Structure 1
Amino acid sequence: MGIIGTILIGLVVGLLARWLHPGHDRLGLIMTALLGIAGSVLATFAGQALGLIRMGQPAGFLGALIGAVVILFVYTRIKR
């Protein structure tokens, strides 16, 4: 998958994370896509650290969504 596909999946994951996380977040589309991409990266590294996935495997959609929600939670707490 190329960079455009990664950005589009990151945008979808970021939008779902914002929908699942309660509260009002003032993030634009670019920050939402970055949130989803960062969630995927976080889930990949956490999965590798826990031994759930091997090196080079992507985290998966659900893992990316959970990672994005965690990052959004931390972001809103730091921003306050």
Structure 2
Amino acid sequence: MGILGWIILGLIAGAIAKAIMPGRDPGGIIITMLLGIVGAIVGGFIGQALFGTDINTFFSLSTWLLAILGSLVVLGIYRLVTGNRARA
């Protein structure tokens, strides 16, 4: 899967992560989607390292689950780091 596939996967995974973790994000929907792209890439590489899964197939359920999980982790970390600044 090329870089365009990762971007599309990350955008969708970021939207799903936002739906799973509702709330106010310090950066809005654009930052959430960018974090989704980063999370999809991070989740894919961690899944490949830990489980040996093939992350190069766009329509694989494991690819989607790892991308969503990675997006949730990155979004959670982002909220922990910047959450207090947004409320101040």
Query: What interval of TM-score do these two structures reach, taking the shorter chain for normalisation?
Result: 0.7 to 0.9
Given that 2:36 and 2:71 are in contact with CA atoms closer than 8 Å, whether structure 1 keeps it comes out as yes
Given that 2:25 and 2:32 are in contact with CA atoms closer than 8 Å, whether structure 1 keeps it comes out as no
Q: Higher Cα Rg: structure 1 or 2?
A: 2
Pairwise CA RMSD: 2.3
Q: What percentage of aligned pairs have identical amino acids?
A: 40
1:43 match:
43
Q: 1 or 2, which has the higher helix percentage?
A: 2
Given that 1:39 and 1:67 are in contact with CA atoms closer than 8 Å, whether structure 2 keeps it comes out as yes
- Indicate which of 78, 82, 86 corresponds to 1:75: 78
CA displacement 1:15-36 (0-9 Å, x = unmatched): 1101111432143443232112
Aligned length: 78
Q: Calculate the TM-score normalised by the size of structure 1.
A: 0.73
Please, which runs of 5 or more residues in structure 1 have no aligned partner? Answer: none
Q: Is 1:62 aligned with 2:65?
A: yes
CA displacement 1:11-68 (0-9 Å, x = unmatched): 21111101111432143443232112111111122112213325xx336111100000
Please, which runs of 5 or more residues in structure 2 have no aligned partner? Answer: 57-61
Runs of 4+ in 1 over 4 A off after TM superposition: 1-5
